[in-house]
Chains A and B, each alone.
Chain A
Amino acid sequence: MIHSLFLINASGDIFLEKHWKSAVSRSVCDYFFEAQERASEAENVPPVIPTPHHCLLSVYRHKIFFVAVIQSEVPPLFVIEFLHRVVDTFQDYFGVCSEVMIKDNVVVVYEVLEEMLDNGFPLATESNILKELIKPPTILRTVVNTITGSTNVGDQLPTGQLSVVPWRRTGVKYTNNEAYFDVIEEIDAIIDKSGSTITAEIQGVIDACVKLTGMPDLTLSFMNPRLLDDVSFHPCVRFKRWESERILSFIPPDGNFRLLSYHVSAQNLVAIPVYVKHNISFRDSSSLGRFEITVGPKQTMGKTIEGVMVTSQMPKGVLNMSLTPSQGTHIFDPVTKLLSWDVGKINPQKLPSLKGSMNLQAGTSKPDENPTINLQFKIQQLAISGLKVNRLDMYGEKYKPFKGIKYMTKAGKFQVRT
């Protein structure tokens, strides 16, 4: 089980340690530092590092390494999942998860960690339960606590923890009863030089914000549930009903939660909403290169593509670029060689383009690698897979809730090779 946790910042300082069993010396992190040194970038530090007596499992988020020390054979996914959950919890508690924030709230952090894990076994990881045990710090509460001498540690056993629906607390009350669902789809795609799709898949999620009084029992049905053949559910969803009727039936947690995530990989179902025309050429003889890209809409079902952002890691040999965009702003960082172009909305009548030349280091041969173009965009009111919610019904409570559904498509890892 999880023995200890070390939080390490980018400069390699251990700024928090927590032990759930006997204390493990900090020196164990030396193995981690070695690996960190070997890796070119922080992202590339391997997540599993064996040492003679322990094993170090780490995740890297918000520029902080969360390093768990384990001593016996445990499922590493369990540890990594748990670490991510820790980060999510911090974010939930403090708004952002940063070194400063953690140091500012070190006692709460410590209390929360103690509550999440006992002897290395997860104890309470649901954020609504945690928040009942240890109240998140707010300015108001800090002030009140100082005046009244009360604490931000709950002294009652959280009600939800042991019920059949551990994710929901009892006695929830709202004056406005509302349930919102966001269907968000991300397209991961690799497009090759000639513009044909090499891989494309959709990672979809339905995030919900449910503020309903009492113990509502919801059912959500889809127009085309057959799209969803690879799904992961929140524990509240009744799997049997999904299996037999393809209906999502559940008692929702209170507040924000992810109802399900799904994966559509069948190539014919994945429409590619944008295309990129590019002409990036280096010449052997001259120290000038040509650079030209144009972005345009493809299969958008009539919706506008917005929030378009193009980034590209240029080869090391590129010294500078002089480019003119037809719209938006662009930056080339000569140190990291990162070109980013904030395009904004795509107007189908007047396609945005970025043209110009590149200055190459004189006297060197042309770069071996071709830059890959990374694309970000958003399309409102569209789920690119075509998924549509049919209806949402509520049972178990008398009032009429306000219901809302929103669709959105985004680029995930959308890459165009040149």
Chain B
Amino acid sequence: MTDSKYFTTTKKGEIFELKAELNSDKKEKKKEAVKKVIASMTVGKDVSALFPDVVNCMQTDNLELKKLVYLYLMNYAKSQPDMAIMAVNTFVKDCEDPNPLIRALAVRTMGCIRVDKITEYLCEPLRKCLKDEDPYVRKTAAVCVAKLHDINAQLVEDQGFLDTLKDLISDSNPMVVANAVAALSEIAESHPSSNLLDLNPQSINKLLTALNECTEWGQIFILDCLANYMPKDDREAQSICERVTPRLSHANSAVVLSAVKVLMKFMEMLSKDLDYYGTLLKKLAPPLVTLLSAEPELQYVALRNINLIVQKRPEILKHEMKVFFVKYNDPIYVKLEKLDIMIRLASQANIAQVLAELKEYATEVDVDFVRKAVRAIGRCAIKVEQSAERCVSTLLDLIQTKVNYVVQEAIVVIKDIFRKYPNKYESVIATLCENLDSLDEPEARAAMIWIVGEYAERIDNADELLESFLEGFHDESTQVQLQLLTAIVKLFLKKPTETQELVQQVLSLATQDSDNPDLRDRGYIYWRLLSTDPVAAKEVVLAEKPLISEETDLIEPTLLDELICYIGTLASVYHKPPSAFVEGSRGVVHKSLPPRTGSSESAESPEAAPSAGQAAEQPAVIPAQGDLLGDLLNLDLGPPVSGPPLAASSVQMGAVDLLGGGLDSLMGGGGGFAAPGPAVPASMGAPLGSGLGDLFDLTGGVGTLSGSYVAPKSVWLPAMKAKGLEISGTFSRQVGSISMDLVLTNKALQVMSDFAIQFNRNSFGLAPAAPLQVHAPLAPNQSVEISLPLNTVGSVMKMDPLNNLQVAVKNNIDVFYFSTLYPLHILFVEDGKMERQMFLATWKDIPNENEAQFQIKDCSLSADAVSSKLQGSNIFTIAKRNVEGQDMLYQSLKLTNGIWVLAELRIQPNNPTFTVRPLPLAVPVPLACPGAGRTVPVGSPLQQRGGSRGGAERSQPPEVPWLSRGARCSPLSLSPSSLTFWGAGGERRC
């Protein structure tokens, strides 16, 4: 007796018969009847007409019958909503049953009945079940919340079920936790905005604990949930990784891959120098290899993911080439994926093996696979230069087999090899030409024609060959037609005498007899070029072509990073972000890899849009203006080579700190500009004023000033944030003009063009003086250097920090924004030398509040050297005195907006610590800059107390007659607003 008997009643009155049986008094008969109904249902027959009769069987003690009725209800309730209400009472009653199995079954089935009216009745039983004493019921109820949410989200929120569900994450039973996480994840996926899975270190800890105890499926949900968490630092990331690693040994491949995802993502945060980083890399390889011994379907998904992993971190699997070798009875989809990964892993070390394998594959039976294998040989040649020669000879061997599709495929890839290594392997052309007649695929024909055109001067009968193609011109595909047109024009330019007729023929075919606009346009362009200026035509048509590189088939880095976050999901199989295929893509949140917190790559952090190299480390919170001023002055005169020991100890006040930076690099002895740059950052906390410091870094020779300091270029706009456009740059000032030196790098896979730049309003009115000139479109992996002249006549708006500059760059892809800090010294004008008398008078008038003081340590230059170095950056020495063995330098500088800054620099011989004292600013009354009144910066009144090495006593200003007021300075005119402006600085007084 088997269930197949249920299928046998196909008589006319089947439904009627079943109806009678369902209403029978005999239990056994009823059950048989319900079974028949279910059987019909499984094969897609419509038995909804029996609804009332089946529901009548629901009230029973027989669990099997009850389950069967429930199965039926789930399928048909939706089509009979009014009838479904009849079942509600039984459900509610069952939810009170002493048997947990029945309670769970009731709540589970009720959730599956997708009828609005029923949901109202569901709330109370569900609430009870969520708090049920039996974990089996609780875990079933957790899933039920997700079901209900799918039907009526508002109801779930109003009833507070979400909170209850969140509480279940802390449940004592791991299965309940896993189901709660799964339910929450599903709800969160449909409502990305709701912050449901509020992950914090505590909840993460709970999840990690549950991870060890719950079922394999629960582990998958928990791991996927963990992957969405962003650890706050590398230590937390490491500790999570440590607890996740054991999952790599799980027998369930989905668990393994989810664990790999978590590790790949969090690894991003670990410093590469860490021992643990290396250990982790090693641990990742074996589980990935093991996935490849599973069933072919699992292998396929694993391979698609490995493809991503190999592109992101090739080091993980670089020694595992052999596991990707193809077995002849692998399904074709596995073979093709393996081949792809073999090429990605190919390197000089293993190329011989790879080639031998590929050659073997090229003799297999499956045409698709053979083609791809041949293509792979070509890609190896392009990827591993040393192997090119062997690849070419392998391809030639394959051409000798005369297997049609192999030959065609080989010719296509040989064309690519020619483009990568021009003028190296033309000797093979003869062999290729022998196979001309067998080519019937457009791509192969086009490739062959390209080769003939490109090397026309070396092929004696090139004209004949091309002519033979020309006969059937109109039957060819567009690809071939275009190629043929170009090839003949090339030929004509190379051998004009004998091919004039041919070129005229093709031009007329292309322009007069063709309906294809592309072809026609190309034809006309050539025609006109040739008729007006053959020399220009030669330059255009025979121009040197950019070499192709292996990267063309790689996934774009930004997309790759996103896909890495989706390892193990459908996105990773499609190699597309979920937004590209998820139904309706209801606001799918883009995921991104966490930034590395370790030392090496911090400059990439997107927030920092630093001006000078040093500023890269700068925190987002930036000093009040007082500090900035101080900044300007805080000359850090450390000897540049020894590394800048302006350590925290020397820092008496915040301002110093902020400003101190960088100056030391300026003072660089003989080193020249650039060298000290990288050494600097470590020394200073937050070197805002770096720019100034940089000034000192002029070549050692006194008086041989070659312009002001230029900071090394730093990355302003990382490629990740700008669809592949990377911008780095710096600012410089040369003979009175300011310029922004930019390097634009195209890291995307498409050509960029139409660049333009714009600045937001800023504190000093900086604006581009000329449009951004990028002459040629920027090809992938190409970069271009541009010097953009700036002026200071733009509109003014106070920025915070003061030297912040917001920039918008446009190209054909999009508009990108970034902000950067420019060093203030680019704003010091050449006529910043104040009259001596004027200086004296001004110095006295500057109020105390405007004063600041800093020390610069470990700078062993003499007063004269300092003076001349500073002059190079337009900071002029007005007077020099020697008091009690100390050199005092009095200096002035003027900003582009007319603000004056006066400073005193005290140098003690034999003490490498310089003290910079009152640093006030003064504004000569009305000046060119319209915004001057609002932006008057004034030295903040920071008093130095008890300096570390400079000594507190000595930091008092010496009694100088002409500074009788204690060396206080005042601006000539100071608006009230400017005082408040600097108020913040005043509060920093120690």
Q: Nearest CB to that of B335 among chain A residues?
A: A44
Binds A, one of B464-472, B573-581, B917-925, B977-985: B573-581
A399 interface residue per 8 A CB criterion: no
B239 interface residue per 8 A CB criterion: no
B189 interface residue per 8 A CB criterion: yes
Q: Which residues of A contact B258 (CB under 8 A)?
A: 75
Q: Do A107 and B574 contact each other (CB < 8 Å), given the known contacts A199-B322, A230-B286, A235-B216?
A: no
Residues 739-762 of B, flagged 1 when their CB comes within 8 A of A and 0 if not, give 000000000000000000000000
Q: Which residues of A contact B568 (CB under 8 A)?
A: 75-77
For window 266-288 of B, CB contacts with A under 8 Å fall at 286-287
Smallest CB–CB gap between B637 and chain A, Å? 56
The count of chain B contact residues (Cβ–Cβ below 8 Å) is 107
B213 interface residue per 8 A CB criterion: yes
B232 interface residue per 8 A CB criterion: no
B101: contacting residue among A73, A155, A229, CB under 8 A: A155
Q: Do A48 and B573 contact each other (CB < 8 Å), given the known contacts A73-B582, A119-B143, A230-B289?
A: yes
Q: Which residues of A contact B327 (CB under 8 A)?
A: 188, 190, 413, 415
B364 interface residue per 8 A CB criterion: yes
A214 interface residue per 8 A CB criterion: no
Smallest CB–CB gap between A313 and chain B, Å? 8
Binds B, one of A216-224, A295-303, A367-375, A388-396: A367-375
CB <8 Å contact, B63 and A155: yes
B208 interface residue per 8 A CB criterion: no
Residues 39-69 of A, flagged 1 when their CB comes within 8 A of B and 0 if not, give 1100110111010010101111000000000
Q: Nearest CB to that of B183 among chain A residues?
A: A121
Most buried by B among A53, A108, A190, A258: A190
CB <8 Å contact, A106 and B42: yes
Q: Which residues of A contact B179 (CB under 8 A)?
A: 121
Q: Which residues of A contact B583 (CB under 8 A)?
A: 53, 71-72
Residues 70-107 of A, flagged 1 when their CB comes within 8 A of B and 0 if not, give 11111111101110100000000000000010011111
Q: Which residues of A contact B108 (CB under 8 A)?
A: 118
CB <8 Å contact, A81 and B182: no
CB <8 Å contact, B64 and A153: yes
CB <8 Å contact, A198 and B325: yes
B300 interface residue per 8 A CB criterion: yes
Residues 19-38 of B, flagged 1 when their CB comes within 8 A of A and 0 if not, give 00000000110010001001
Complexed CA–CA distance, A152 and B3 (Å): 14
Q: Which residues of A contact B136 (CB under 8 A)?
A: 157, 161-162
Q: Nearest CB to that of A111 among chain B residues?
A: B67
CB <8 Å contact, B298 and A80: yes
Smallest CB–CB gap between B831 and chain A, Å? 65
CB <8 Å contact, B217 and A121: yes
Complexed CA–CA distance, A372 and B363 (Å): 11
CB <8 Å contact, A234 and B251: yes
CB <8 Å contact, B63 and A107: no
Complexed CA–CA distance, A374 and B583 (Å): 45
B569 interface residue per 8 A CB criterion: yes
CB <8 Å contact, A104 and B4: yes
A231 interface residue per 8 A CB criterion: yes
Q: Do A151 and B251 contact each other (CB < 8 Å), given the known contacts A75-B224, A368-B401?
A: no
Q: Which residues of B contact A53 (CB under 8 A)?
A: 583
Q: Which residues of B contact A155 (CB under 8 A)?
A: 63, 99, 101
B146 interface residue per 8 A CB criterion: yes
Q: Nearest CB to that of A108 among chain B residues?
A: B3
Smallest CB–CB gap between A93 and chain B, Å? 13
B403 interface residue per 8 A CB criterion: yes
CB <8 Å contact, B329 and A261: no
CB <8 Å contact, B71 and A77: no
Complexed CA–CA distance, A75 and B39 (Å): 31
CB <8 Å contact, A77 and B357: no
Q: Which residues of B contact A75 (CB under 8 A)?
A: 220, 224, 254, 257-258, 568-569
CB <8 Å contact, B67 and A17: no
For window 260-303 of A, CB contacts with B under 8 Å fall at 260-261, 263, 265
B135 interface residue per 8 A CB criterion: yes
Q: Nearest CB to that of B151 among chain A residues?
A: A22
CB <8 Å contact, B290 and A263: yes
Q: Do A203 and B325 contact each other (CB < 8 Å), given the known contacts A44-B333, A107-B68, A122-B215?
A: no
Q: Which residues of A contact B253 (CB under 8 A)?
A: 77, 81
CB <8 Å contact, A258 and B251: yes
A114 interface residue per 8 A CB criterion: yes
Residues 576-600 of B, flagged 1 when their CB comes within 8 A of A and 0 if not, give 0010011100000000000000000
Q: Nearest CB to that of B250 among chain A residues?
A: A232
Smallest CB–CB gap between A87 and chain B, Å? 10
CB <8 Å contact, B67 and A118: no
For window 61-87 of B, CB contacts with A under 8 Å fall at 62-65, 67-68, 71, 74-75, 78
Complexed CA–CA distance, A143 and B296 (Å): 41
Complexed CA–CA distance, A76 and B134 (Å): 32
CB <8 Å contact, B75 and A19: yes
Q: Which residues of A contact B296 (CB under 8 A)?
A: 43, 47
Contact residues of B: prevailing secondary structure: helix
Q: Which residues of B contact A60 (CB under 8 A)?
A: 297
Q: Do A80 and B297 contact each other (CB < 8 Å), given the known contacts A17-B42, A125-B217, A233-B250?
A: yes
Complexed CA–CA distance, A250 and B888 (Å): 81
CB <8 Å contact, B257 and A198: no
CB <8 Å contact, B571 and A73: yes
Smallest CB–CB gap between A184 and chain B, Å? 13
Q: Do A47 and B186 contact each other (CB < 8 Å), given the known contacts A119-B111, A230-B286?
A: no
Q: Which residues of A contact B363 (CB under 8 A)?
A: 368-370
Complexed CA–CA distance, A18 and B216 (Å): 23
Complexed CA–CA distance, A155 and B332 (Å): 47
CB <8 Å contact, B42 and A233: no
Q: Nearest CB to that of A157 among chain B residues?
A: B101
B39: contacting residue among A43, A106, A201, CB under 8 A: A106
Complexed CA–CA distance, A151 and B568 (Å): 41
Most buried by B among A15, A154, A161, A415: A161
Smallest CB–CB gap between B46 and chain A, Å? 11
CB <8 Å contact, A22 and B290: no
Complexed CA–CA distance, A77 and B294 (Å): 11
Most buried by B among A22, A190, A235, A239: A235
A247 interface residue per 8 A CB criterion: no
CB <8 Å contact, B2 and A153: no
**Which B positions have Cβ atoms within 8 angstroms of A?**
1-4, 6-7, 27-28, 31, 35, 38-39, 42-44, 62-65, 67-68, 71, 74-75, 78, 99-101, 108, 111-112, 114, 134-136, 140, 143-144, 146-147, 150, 173, 175, 179, 182-183, 186, 189-190, 213, 215-217, 220, 224, 246, 249-254, 256-258, 286-287, 289-290, 293, 295-298, 300-302, 320, 322-323, 325, 327-329, 331-333, 353, 356-357, 360, 363-366, 401, 403, 568-571, 573-574, 578, 581-583
Considering the complex of A and B, which 7 residue pairs feature the smallest CB-CB distances, nearest first?
Answer: A230-B286, A104-B2, A151-B64, A77-B254, A47-B297, A153-B64, A78-B254
Identify 20 new A-B residue pairs, CB closer than 8 A, beyond the known A121-B179, A233-B251: A1-B182, A17-B42, A44-B332, A53-B583, A57-B297, A73-B569, A73-B582, A75-B258, A75-B569, A100-B4, A103-B7, A106-B38, A118-B140, A119-B112, A121-B183, A122-B215, A232-B250, A233-B249, A263-B293, A374-B329
**Which A positions have Cβ atoms within 8 angstroms of B?**
1, 14-23, 26, 39-40, 43-44, 46-48, 50, 53, 55, 57-60, 70-78, 80-82, 84, 100, 103-108, 110-111, 114, 118-119, 121-123, 125, 142, 146, 149, 151-157, 161-162, 164, 166, 188, 190, 192, 198-199, 201, 203, 229-235, 239-240, 243, 258, 260-261, 263, 265, 313, 368-370, 372, 374, 413, 415, 417
Query: 30 pairs across A/B with beta carbons < 8 Å?
Result: A1-B186, A14-B43, A26-B44, A40-B332, A46-B333, A47-B296, A50-B581, A53-B583, A57-B297, A75-B224, A76-B568, A76-B569, A77-B254, A103-B3, A106-B3, A119-B143, A121-B143, A121-B183, A142-B1, A162-B173, A188-B293, A203-B293, A229-B286, A232-B256, A233-B250, A243-B246, A261-B251, A265-B320, A415-B329, A417-B360
